[in-house]
């Protein structure tokens, strides 16, 4: 794999920089830089997606015939890194990075024609209905029932940890259509209109105070069989394919590299335990150096996955490796950011940030006072949110089991 940038790659980098300089408003940059989790402020995210769509860059990893970009591996990386460096808010992964790939691989022509263009424009905004109160890490144990009733499946049950369910107008979900055979059998992948009668959404308050995740209840919700992706009772095949993109379908190394660089910059001024600056403290310096080395390793692994996707393949078990390394490295960096933030990093002041959802039961000071710098206000919220990183999208323990079985034959 040739990692040197060619003249055309450098020209593309300049093109991306020019676009970002022109289109990223101060408000959008602020929304990106003050994110408290992997999710940006919803309104800012959707505004940025519309701008990218106008340029044809909203979903560069899609096949060209569906609106993707015929970019090289290096161009994908350049775009991701330059967007991060410029402070662009992230886009919701549920539609563009996740269900779209399932539709492209398993959807009918009618489903592709309807959903893919609308995902690009933001007219259709998806949430994910996988986890249930009794089936999270053991996803195949899900029990939300979908009873066959003529042209419809009648769905009853609940989903939990559903990100942005209140903002979404569609959900892609796994439902139980049969209880015979292995638990992976009898599962169906469906698309559910969130305006359907019988749906109730209850927000969940996270340790950061944000209401991003929700529990969604379904009481006799009718879903047309035309909304089934793939075959009835064979949704596990679709789900496994989609999970590979959820766990390793995007480049996270650039954002982590930027975070590490920012920590190095602020720790060069923050007071250390021995009276000097924090960056000169040997213990802190070793931890930061180790984290920066790990971001370089992660970057190479992401190159391999992007190469597979660009070649028409899918990430395979490498997605499990990326999920483990990316989430654990992000947790390490948020810990270092808290250490660099010092006492002001312990102050709860979400009004100085741009969270990914509403903040529950918080009244900001009347004068808008903020103790310290905005990044110090972001640090604790990001720290709390990243504790879930090693659990969501399949816990890291499960990912290690997948690798042990598939790659090591254990």
Mean pLDDT within 254-262:
89
Single out the residue of 399, 357, 355, 398 nearest to residue 377, CA to CA. 355
For residue 1, pLDDT beyond 60: no
pLDDT of residue 194: 98
What is the tens place of the pLDDT at every residue in 2-30? 556 788 989 999 999 999 999 999 999 99
pLDDT of residue 248: 47
Q: What is the pTM of this model?
A: 0.86
- Name the DSSP letter for residue 39: S
**CB-CB contact of 84 with 255 (8 Å):** yes
For every residue of 104-150, DSSP letters joined together read: HHH--HHHHHHHHHHHHHTSS-EEEE--BTTBSSSGGG---EEEEET
Domains in the chain (CATH in brackets) are 7-91 (no CATH), 126-240 (2.40.110.10), 250-314+316-406 (1.20.140.10)
For residue 69, pLDDT beyond 50: yes
What is the tens place of the pLDDT at every residue in 277-324? 999 999 999 999 999 999 999 988 887 776 776 666 666 788 788 889
Per-residue confidence at 250, pLDDT binned at 50, 70, 90?
low
**For 73-77, 90-94, 211-215, which range has the lowest pLDDT when averaged over its residues?**
73-77
pLDDT of residue 249: 47
pLDDT of residue 304: 77
Per-residue confidence at 246, pLDDT binned at 50, 70, 90?
low
- Main-chain dihedrals φ then ψ at residue 21, nearest 5 degrees: -60, -35
Among 144-158, 175-189, 249-263, 290-304, the range of highest mean pLDDT: 144-158
pLDDT of residue 274: 77
pLDDT of residue 284: 95
């Amino acid at each position: 794999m040739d990692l040197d940038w060619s003249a055309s790659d450098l020209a593309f980098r300049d093109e991306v920089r020019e676009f970002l300089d022109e289109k990223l408003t101060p408000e959008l940059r602020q929304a990106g830089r003050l994110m408290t989790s992997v999710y940006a402020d919803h309104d800012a995210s959707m505004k940025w997606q519309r701008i990218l769509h106008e340029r044809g860059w909203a979903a560069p990893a899609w096949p060209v015939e569906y609106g993707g970009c015929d970019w090289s591996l290096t161009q994908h990386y350049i775009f991701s890194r330059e967007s991060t460096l410029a402070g662009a808010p992230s886009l919701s992964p549920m539609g563009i990075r996740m269900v779209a790939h399932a539709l492209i691989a398993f959807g009918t022509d009618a489903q592709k024609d309807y959903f893919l263009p609308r995902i690009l424009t933001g007219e259709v905004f998806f949430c994910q209905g996988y986890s249930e109160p009794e089936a999270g890490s053991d996803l195949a144990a899900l029990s939300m029932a979908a009873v066959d009733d003529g042209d419809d499946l009648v769905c009853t049950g609940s989903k939990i940890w559903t990100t942005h369910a209140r903002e979404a107008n569609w959900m892609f979900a796994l439902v139980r259509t049969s209880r015979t055979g292995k638990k992976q059998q009898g599962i169906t992948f469906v698309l559910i209109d969130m305006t359907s009668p019988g749906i109730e959404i209850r927000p969940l308050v996270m340790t950061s105070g944000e209401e991003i995740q929700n529990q969604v209840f379904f009481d006799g919700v009718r879903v047309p069989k035309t909304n089934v992706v793939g075959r009835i009772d064979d949704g596990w095949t679709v789900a496994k394919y989609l999970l590979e993109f959820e766990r390793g379908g995007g480049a996270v190394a650039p954002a982590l590299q930027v975070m590490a660089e920012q920590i190095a910059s602020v720790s060069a001024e923050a007071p250390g335990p021995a009276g000097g600056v924090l960056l000169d403290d040997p213990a802190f310096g070793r931890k930061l150096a180790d984290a920066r080395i790990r971001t370089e390793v992660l970057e190479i692994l992401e190159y391999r996955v992007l190469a597979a996707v660009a070649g028409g393949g899918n990430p395979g078990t490498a997605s499990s490796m990326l999920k483990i390394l990316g989430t654990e490295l992000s947790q390490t960096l948020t810990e270092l950011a808290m250490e660099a933030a010092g006492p002001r990093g312990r102050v709860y002041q979400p009004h100085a940030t741009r969270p990914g959802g509403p903040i529950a039961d918080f009244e900001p000071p009347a004068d808008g006072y903020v103790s310290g710098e905005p990044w110090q206000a972001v640090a604790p919220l990001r720290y709390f949110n990243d504790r879930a990183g090693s659990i969501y999208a399949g816990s890291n323990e499960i990912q290690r089991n997948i690798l042990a079985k598939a790659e090591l034959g254990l």
